[in-house]
Structure 1
Amino acid sequence: MTDLAEPSPRPVINATGVVIHTNLGRAPLSDAALAAADAVGRGYSDLEIDLGTGRRGSRQAHLQSLLRRITGAEAALAVNNNASALLLGLSALAAGREVIVSRGEAVEIGGGFRIPDVLRQSGCTLVDVGTTNRTYVRDYADAMTEQTGAFLKAHASNFKVEGFTAFVGERELVALGESSGVPVLHDVGSGALLPTDRYGLAHEPTPQESIAAGVGLVFFSGDKLLGGPQAGIVVGKRDLVTRLERHPLARAVRIDKMSLASLTATLAHYAMGEAENKVPVWRMISTSAEDVRARADNWRAALATHQVQTGVEPARSAIGGGSLPGETLPSWTLSVDPSPDRSPEAVLSALRDHSTPVIARIADDTVRLDPRTVLPEQDDDVIRAIATVMAR
């Protein structure tokens, strides 16, 4: 019965250095996003009522103006996750028809989620064109028939294809689609609303770029680089978004009130130009290696008072979450030296078993903790956990 009374999932401290850690719940929310979810969760809200007229309203109205302003799209829609968003888009626009996809973009992401399977589930027929490493606009043109319902581009967010490669850009595909009335759908995945190359990372495609290129619908996640709650976001042309809104599946995948509130609050950070400072994911990414080292040095000094031997070592932080594969940030870690009778694996396990579990990693036979992904208010908890574990 004690186990039943304990809340689950439990909060943990992410000291792995992986910013968007899928197994740890992806993006932590901003204070404003948490407050917004708490406010609507504690009581009633104007979720689907127009306070001006007293009549029924749309839950989508709460975020549409924000998404239009941020991305430049004509219209927007949010559902419960990005897989649902893509399934809804394909079902509403191309069920019973053919969807043309580059062979190099018929991807699989985590959990066995495959683009071909989603197409099949939505009632579409996959027509793959080109090769794994090279696809040209003529490949799409040659595959078009009277049954073509859409072109689909899917960003390869969790792997890289390098070397002898060629892929068709959004503008080229839009031009081909406009000449024949075929919409272009683009799944950009991670939902980066800020330019990643500003932080020394590779460029990640943004929804804004796809909209500017004329793409019909753009799909992306809410809980990856956007830094909000789990959600699937669709932005694009008004007539296409309207078709999604009116499809029966839209009801089955609609976003709940608490996710909607926290997503709206997160988007407001972008609209006000404060995302880098307010959204935890971007605060972690933008933190300099020098600042990370300063925190690691503080941890080391504090643990020395508990007679715990530690070091500070250079490291690399990863973005994670199927975003920016292979891209890392320079960082520093606190290294905890295991005792002769205690392996690094045993220390790692004991940290996970602490009252506030700390998730770390092992490198060079030592336990490593990266301050970059530890929230500042968790520093004392990390120090306490290490001191307790090493005193046993």
Structure 2
Amino acid sequence: MSAPAPKPLRTLPAVETLLRHPALGPALAALPRSLVVEAVRAEIAAERARLRRAGGAAAAPEALAGGAAARALAAGRPMLRRVLNATGVVLHTNLGRAPLSAAARRAVEEVARGYSSLEYDLVTGRRGDRGIGVERWLTRLTGAEAALVVNNGAAAILLALAALATGRTVIVSRGELVEIGGSFRIPEIMERSGARLAEVGTTNRTHLRDYERALERHGDTAAILRVHPSNFRLAGFTTRPTLAELARLAHRRRVLLIEDLGSGALVDLAPFGLESEPTVRESLTAGCDVVTFSGDKLLGATQAGLILGGKGPLGRIRRDSLARALRVDKLTLAALEATLPEYVDPERAARDIPALAMLHADEAALERRAGVLAERLERALPGARARVARGAGEVGGGALPLQRLPGWVVSLEWPGRSAGDLEALARSAEPPVIGYIRGGKLRLDVRTLTDDDALAAAEALGRAAGHPGA
């Protein structure tokens, strides 16, 4: 009489036994052993739970080892990875906003290789000032007397208010008490800065006399804050004073005029066929004492908050203890200092700074790129249908909210797979391809793909679908 078959749970291998399986060799060679051990334990625990729930025979050691290897590799893969942006949103906040220029990437790589002159003056051999190279270019390009770099746009306005208005009143129009992204709201930033908010006007109409009356009521006023509507628009029956009018009033009453420009254009965007945005130089020329804006929006560089203005207020901001807590690192400074010189020649900036190049990309070139992508996708995904169609991209990043960017997209269908299946497949590719679903089809907008990116996207989807050589 034959012996009874062992119970399925007892056939599961021990952790050390499974770790010796050849299928786990590459994972053990590439990853810390503890991470692979953790993955093996998780795979065995999952199989044990399945057997208790559904019964049946235990998975073969080969399957368990393969599952554990996949778990380990997934756990060891960085969460922050390069992706191919096929959304058509140029300054996509979730995808890192502005891509860096070739010059900025080279500068970051060079500085990251080892030590740097971050706070060392190579001429005198003494301690130097962090960020002086970026500040030199900012003042040269905008006419500002002084400049300072902090870690993002919200930090810039927070620091400016903390240094210049703590314990005092700051006057703001009700129509400008906005949320600037990530649930950060202007009134909350002002509260954290220690400044007291005085609202004037109404949501849609604020007159110069409203500011005048507020100045009469609040004798402790430190500043008037102007928030440029870079991520929103009020239309219809609206009015507000010009920046020059506010500057004259502020200076007559001996208070500061601070403007949060948000997206912060350094050049006029109208020649690109885009909605006009005030430039930093224009705000300073109009009489602003301090202007703040972001580095990774229309400037086209890395995340940073830029503060420009007169030497007096900038000196106070620089000396504030919060400035050290909000300062940026060497890689941010390297990217900024490599990007800013491009703006000496606006035509060069429009060509070499990726965000600007994408914003004014030639429609004929986009159509050709879409055609190549469609052809390569059908080759990489046998049986799929890729069609070139009209599309409209967006600026994104809280900049030019009403601007649409006419262009071309590739609409992808694959019999037997839903649009959701294709979107998930694209996200699982290496590198991941991020598109969007519209009309029951996966759409890939080529505005935010370079020619090389378009080819890489097709190849990545082919590999993800199991057709690497198609």
Q: What does the per-residue CA deviation read over 1:12-58, in whole Å, with 9 as the maximum and x for residues that have no partner?
A: 10000000000011111011111111111111111111111111110
- Residues 1:247 and 2:320 aligned together: yes
Contact 1:32-1:266 within 8 A present in 2 as well: yes
Partner of 1:57, secondary structure, is: coil
Contact 1:66-1:271 within 8 A present in 2 as well: no
- Residues 1:55 and 2:126 aligned together: yes
Contact 2:101-2:353 within 8 A present in 1 as well: yes
- Residues 1:344 and 2:419 aligned together: yes
Question: After TM superposition, which residue ranges in structure 1, 4 or more long, deviate above 4 angstroms?
Answer: 388-392
Q: 1:344 to 1:65 in 2, by over 3 A?
A: same
Q: What does the per-residue CA deviation read over 1:195-228, in whole Å, with 9 as the maximum and x for residues that have no partner?
A: 2222222112221110110100000000111111
Q: 1:305 to 1:217 in 2, by over 3 A?
A: same
1:303 match = 377
Letter in 1 for 2:180: I
Distance 1:103 1:297 in 2: 48
Q: 1:131 Cα shift?
A: 0.4
2:363 match = 289
Partner of 2:182, secondary structure, is: helix
- Residues 1:148 and 2:221 aligned together: yes
Distance 1:9 1:389 in 2: 19
Distance 1:391 1:65 in 2: 52
1:126 match = 197
Aligned residue among 345, 355, 360 for 2:435: 360
- Residues 1:329 and 2:405 aligned together: yes
Q: 1:390 to 1:337 in 2, by over 3 A?
A: farther
Q: What does the per-residue CA deviation read over 1:280-316, in whole Å, with 9 as the maximum and x for residues that have no partner?
A: 1011112111111110011122334444321100010
Distance 2:352 2:388 in 1: 28
Q: How many equivalent residue pairs? A: 391
Distance 1:4 1:62 in 2: 40
1:270 match = 343
Distance 1:205 1:165 in 2: 19
Distance 1:303 1:354 in 2: 13
Q: 1:257 to 1:389 in 2, by over 3 A?
A: closer
1:139 match = 210
Letter in 1 for 2:359: I
Distance 1:237 1:119 in 2: 21
Query: Identity percentage over the alignment?
Result: 45
Distance 1:120 1:255 in 2: 24
Distance 1:220 1:160 in 2: 18
2:142 match = 71
For residues 157-236 of structure 1, what are the structure 2 equivalents within 5 Å? 157-236=230-309
- Residues 1:369 and 2:440 aligned together: no
Q: 1:241 Cα shift?
A: 0.6
Q: 1:6 Cα shift?
A: 2.2
Q: What does the per-residue CA deviation read over 1:368-390, in whole Å, with 9 as the maximum and x for residues that have no partner?
A: 10111013321221111333456
Letter in 1 for 2:100: L
Letter in 1 for 2:368: A
Q: Which has the higher helix share?
A: 2
Distance 2:177 2:428 in 1: 40
More moved, 90-99 vs 4-13: 4-13
Contact 1:69-1:271 within 8 A present in 2 as well: no
2:393 match = 317
Contact 2:138-2:147 within 8 A present in 1 as well: yes
Letter in 1 for 2:449: V
Q: 1:60 Cα shift?
A: 2.7
Aligned alpha-carbon RMSD (Å): 1.4
- Residues 1:378 and 2:378 aligned together: no
Contact 1:275-1:282 within 8 A present in 2 as well: yes
- Residues 1:5 and 2:79 aligned together: no
What residue ranges of structure 2 are gaps of 5+ in the alignment?
Answer: 1-34, 36-71
Distance 2:122 2:345 in 1: 25
The structure with more radius of gyration: 2
More moved, 212-221 vs 374-383: 374-383
Letter in 2 for 1:56: R
Letter in 2 for 1:303: L
Contact 1:76-1:235 within 8 A present in 2 as well: yes
Contact 1:97-1:125 within 8 A present in 2 as well: yes
Q: What does the per-residue CA deviation read over 1:118-174, in whole Å, with 9 as the maximum and x for residues that have no partner?
A: 110010110010000000111001001321010001112222110000012110000
- Residues 1:86 and 2:157 aligned together: yes
Q: 1:271 Cα shift?
A: 2.3
Q: 1:7 Cα shift?
A: 2.5
What residue ranges of structure 1 are gaps of 5+ in the alignment?
Answer: none
Aligned residue among 30, 40, 45 for 2:116: 45
Distance 2:295 2:448 in 1: 19
Distance 1:134 1:111 in 2: 27
Q: 1:4 Cα shift?
A: 4.7
Higher RCO structure, 1 or 2 (CA under 8 Å, sep 6+): 1
Partner of 1:112, secondary structure, is: coil
**TM-score w.r.t. length of structure 1:** 0.97
More moved, 268-277 vs 21-30: 268-277
Contact 2:89-2:395 within 8 A present in 1 as well: yes
Contact 1:347-1:389 within 8 A present in 2 as well: no
